[in-house]
Structure 1
Amino acid sequence: MKKTLIALAAVAATGAAFAQSSVTIYGKVNVSLEKSSLGGKSNIASLDDIHGSRLGFRGAEDLGGGLQAKFQIEHRFRPDTGADATFNPGGTNATTGVVTPASSTMWNGMSTVGLAGSFGEVRLGRYYSANFLGAANVPDPFGGDGAGALRGVGMYANRLAAFPVIRTANIIHYSGSFSGVKVALSTSVKESDSKAHTSFAVGYANGPLDVGVGTDRASIGNLVNAYVTYDLGVAKLAFGMGNTKSTAGLKSEGLLLGATIPAGPGKVLVGLARAKNKNSGVVTNSKLGLGYLYPLSKRTTLEASYGRDSKAVSSATGKKESGFDLTLQHNF
């Protein structure tokens, strides 16, 4: 009898502990029919994964006193082939004989554990840079994805300094929000890299206004971003800029103008972005992005986007770069 009571008490205690914690399975699956010469693509009709299909797990445990322990792991994959999104088959250099082994990063999206409370949140592991979440990814109506995406041109200035460094391994990341002021700091532990990747962002959001700045400093160079968005109700307007400087001294600047406009059950996405090589004074990119998102349900969306760069010439076609994609996306 005593053993039975002890067992029941143990089960009850375990149940109480579980009641204070939670684990969520989430994800996104999207497949796009694409034909594009943008960014060096082949301009051949193909199926693609433009929004980063993923399977993730996140959880939180109440530690008491307003403190939580949290974790999040996220795998990225290509639904058109079923392959790991980061898989590299490796190979052998025919000239040098150097062998590059096959590789992949299972939890490419993120893999973090941390603590959260009234002070904000600290994450340890593999995660986004503070500037990416806090500034660089904010103003692009397309979220940096698809034929219409403007982030690569306007916020990364056509990646002339090899940016973006979107995620960082071995990261210590802090974020917090206090009376509308948003702050984020991140730094990687140097380990095998030649220089630690440090990042910072600060912003302010109040009603329809959202404004912020951020910076990345890494072994490839430095990046500075700024943005402002304003929601008029009939349209959400966005402005962004990016300045890069590579370790080799190459400087570039980018500008982005965008709008998200409610239209029927969905919304229209539109914007312009420009990138300029500051060393030569040459405008390297001038891109138009157009798109429409149509919700089939709360979780499923049909999306079409188009982009054309009037400055960049495709090596595949010999003409100005352009592209179109049609995407079916489901979130769970």
Structure 2
Amino acid sequence: MLFSHQKLIAAAALAALAGSASAQTVSLYGLVDMSVGSFQAAGESKLKAAENGKMTTSHIGFAGTEDLGGGLKAKFALESFLRADTGKSARFDTDAFWARKAIVGLESATLGSLTLGRNTTPLFVSTVSYNAFGDSYGFSPSVRHYFVGALYGDSGWSNSALYTSPTWGGFSASALVNAGEGATGATGRNTSASVKYAIAGLSTMLTYQQVKNGVAVYPAGFEAQTTTQLNASYDFGVAKLFGQYGQVETDATVDVETRLFQVGASVPVGSGALLLSHGQAREEKGAATVTRKTTSFGYDHKLSRRSDVYAVYMNDKKTSLSSGNTFAVGLRHRF
């Protein structure tokens, strides 16, 4: 009889665990991107190489949600960049392991979500959402001009809190703030916010960002860098058009103002799409003016829902420097 009771207790415990487990979902996911070709930025020598993450930075992640009842969910995500060409973790040797994202938070269909930890910035989301080459550090003029050129800070902020609203009548918003704790040379908190309106084929987004910490190398007398960006896209079916205009102002001993714009298109062709993007960044620093113009043209062909191959040509020009020309072919796989 005692043994029978023990079996009943064990069965009840297993049932409870099974019920608890069914209320939580955890997934493993990621992307590996490799390309080969001749790579050359303005003023630099040609590099013939096999390169990681030119169309999308390779990464791996874990994410999960738990249903807390009443429409409320707890969630987490841990995401790490990786270098498929060398097998190393992160984007560079001194990069944090979970630099892509490391968050925990709560989500409600009616109230929105709040996540704490290392969050992706609204400015990065808007920049990659409104250009034909998406989050490509290798080929997108917008990403290169903002995040490899004009901006201080990273695409993700540590020690931060991000609120994302539900969508009301096509409108949604987000707000991000970080504490700036322990950041050498910090002058205060980083703040950012965005407002989006999307209906039918039209989508627009206005984004604001101010950086006061998390800068790898501060310019002399640095106080803050403020960015505003206006984005729009329209999907006609036969083509999707993109447009961006932004302004980046850096307050330092020598103030810097950069104006940026980008236009582009994605045109469905067969099982893929033709991609075109042209961007310009005009930097005014004291009496000096430097203009950078980048044009990318490519074709991305879907082999399946998870795999695609692409070919891209990019021309990069910058004041007083020789022109750079890049041609690459690559393969991406999502899992």
**Is the Cα–Cα contact under 8 Å of residues 181 and 204 in structure 1 kept in the other structure?**
yes
Q: Residues 98-177 of structure 1: matches in 2 within 5 Å? A: 103-117=94-108, 118-133=110-125, 135-145=126-136, 147-152=138-143, 156=146, 159-160=149-150, 162-163=151-152, 165-176=154-165, 177=167
Q: Is 2:71 the counterpart of 1:66?
A: yes
Query: Could you tell me which residue of structure 1 aligns to residue 85 of structure 2?
Result: 80
Q: Is 2:255 the counterpart of 1:243?
A: no
Q: Residues 41-60 of structure 1: matches in 2 within 5 Å? A: 42-49=45-52, 50=54, 51-60=56-65
Query: Could you tell me which residue of structure 2 aligns to residue 262 of structure 1?
Result: 268
Task: Give the structure-1-normalised TM-score.
Answer: 0.88
Cα RMSD of the aligned pairs, angstroms, is 1.9
Could you tell me the percent identity over the aligned residues? 28
Q: Is 2:194 the counterpart of 1:204?
A: no
Deviation sequence 1:98-157 (CA, Å, 0-9, x none): xxxxx4411121111000002111111111112322x22221111141553111366x29
SS of alignment partner, residue 145 of structure 1: coil
**Is the Cα–Cα contact under 8 Å of residues 292 and 305 in structure 1 kept in the other structure?**
yes
Query: Could you tell me which residue of structure 1 aligns to residue 21 of structure 2?
Result: 18
Query: Could you tell me which residue of structure 1 aligns to residue 8 of structure 2?
Result: 5
Q: Residues 274-285 of structure 1: matches in 2 within 5 Å? A: 274-279=280-285, 280=287, 282=289, 284-285=291-292
- Tell me how far apart the structure 2 counterparts of residues 285 and 87 of structure 1 sit (CA, whole Å): 25
SS of alignment partner, residue 190 of structure 1: coil
Q: Residues 176-325 of structure 1: matches in 2 within 5 Å? A: 176=165, 177-193=167-183, 194=186, 195-219=188-212, 220-248=224-252, 249-279=255-285, 280=287, 282=289, 284-312=291-319, 319-325=322-328
SS of alignment partner, residue 200 of structure 1: strand
Change (3 A) 1:269 1:312: farther
Question: Shift of the alpha carbon at 1:282?
Answer: 3.5
Letter in 2 for 1:239: G
- Tell me how far apart the structure 2 counterparts of residues 297 and 19 of structure 1 sit (CA, whole Å): 30
Question: Shift of the alpha carbon at 1:215?
Answer: 1.1
Deviation sequence 1:250-271 (CA, Å, 0-9, x none): 0010011010000111100002
Change (3 A) 1:190 1:148: closer
Aligned length: 311
Deviation sequence 1:167-212 (CA, Å, 0-9, x none): 1011100112222112000001120131211110001000000011
Letter in 1 for 2:262: L
Q: Point out the more displaced range, 34-43 or 229-238.
A: 34-43
Question: Shift of the alpha carbon at 1:246?
Answer: 1.0
Question: Shift of the alpha carbon at 1:55?
Answer: 1.1
Letter in 1 for 2:298: G
- Tell me how far apart the structure 2 counterparts of residues 149 and 164 of structure 1 sit (CA, whole Å): 19
SS of alignment partner, residue 130 of structure 2: coil
- Tell me how far apart the structure 1 counterparts of residues 118 and 21 of structure 2 sit (CA, whole Å): 27
**Is the Cα–Cα contact under 8 Å of residues 43 and 323 in structure 2 kept in the other structure?**
no
Letter in 1 for 2:75: K
Change (3 A) 1:272 1:311: same
Gaps of 5+ in 2: 213-223
